[in-house]
Amino acid sequence: MKKILLVNDDGIEARGLRAMATALAQDYDLRVVAPASQQSGMSQAISAHNKIKVEKYDYKLAAEAYSIYGTPTDCTKLAIEMIYADDLPDVVISGINDGGNLGTDILYSGTVGAAMEGHLHKIFSIAVSRVVNSKLSFEEVAEIFKGKLSELISEKPYMYNINFPKKIKNMKDIFRYTKQGRRAYHNEYAREVDAKGNVFYFMNGTPNDEGNIAGSDICAVQDGYVSISPLKIGRTHKKLLHELQK
């Protein structure tokens, strides 16, 4: 039986995490290590200068579960390097996130960051997200994902970023393999001044997905398909490097 480490960034009590655990619990040896609270937007941040509290958690769907007072990446890193160092998972699954992680969202996503940490440790890893206001329930997403999982799992430490659309166009033709698109935001911050004159800013942007082409994750999801994008760690601009080395 494959051993799965289930993590997320929405917190250990999140509905998406529970739906995924429910779908996978009977067919996999499941361990849950998730943040104690909401940790969206943390990317691959780690608690480099803080003590990280770890608590055993009563999560009946899993063989064992821990609540981590840290970031999503802390969860994966602690699980692999400490908690299960002598019993490593075969697969790391992060999600189901409540909100898409498309295009350049992946640079900020705690869901993707937690999965990327598994990939960094040479373990096959997947991030799974559902776009905002999707008509698909977390339970439906989890069941569809479960049906695809055995096909995706590899002995090689690949990393996939999977996004579910608002509505699936054709249940007989669900998935598209895609590349990372590009997403910007309009009016990303809103400004607020309280009665004492203190100034505050908070995230309040709407995505701008203009300019994406067929084959991108964004276009696939907009067209009603589940996007599967293979990701990697390296960011070296190889063409520019080659020119500089001449």
We report the CATH number of the domain holding residue 32 as 3.40.1210.10
Per-residue pLDDT tens for 58-99? 999 999 999 999 999 999 999 999 999 999 999 999 999 999
pLDDT mean over 194-208: 90
Residue 174 lies in a domain: yes
* pLDDT-derived band at 114, boundaries 50, 70, 90: very high
In whole angstroms, what separates CA 159 from the centre of its chain?
Answer: 11
Asked if residues 80 and 123 have their Cβ atoms less than 8 Å apart, the reply is yes
Strands 159-164 and 226-231: antiparallel
pLDDT of res. 208? 85
Residue 105 maps to a domain? yes
In a domain, 190, yes or no: no
Residue 221 located in a structural domain: yes
- What are the tens digits of pLDDT across the range 151-185? 999 999 999 999 999 999 999 999 999 999 999 88
Residue 128 inside a domain? The answer is: yes
C-beta of residue 72 within 8 angstroms of C-beta of residue 114: yes
85 contact partners, CB below 8 Å, separation of at least 6: none
Find the range with the poorest average confidence among 83-87, 201-205, 237-241: 201-205
Q: What is the pLDDT of residue 152?
A: 97
- The burial of 52, by beta-carbon neighbours within 10 Å (0-12 exposed, 13-18 middle, 19 or more buried), is given as middle
In a domain, 122, yes or no: yes
- Residue 53, phi-psi category: left (phi > 0), alpha (psi -120 to 50), beta (remainder): beta
**Cα–Cα distance, 232 to 159 (Å, whole number):** 7
Asked if residues 217 and 105 have their Cβ atoms less than 8 Å apart, the reply is no
Residue type present at position 152: L
Indicate the average pLDDT of the chain: 96
pLDDT value at 187 more than 90: no
Residue 18 in domain: yes
Residues 121-150 have a mean pLDDT of 98
- The model carries a pTM of 0.95
The count of domains in the chain is 1
Instruction: Please list, in sequence order, all residues whose beta carbon lies within 8 angstroms of the beta carbon of residue 17, skipping any fewer than 6 positions away.
Output: 6, 8, 10, 11, 32, 34, 95, 96
Three-class DSSP category at 218: helix
Say if 191 falls within a structural domain. Answer: no
Which residue range forms the structural domain that includes residue 53?
3-181+212-244
Checking if the pLDDT of 206 tops 90, the result is no
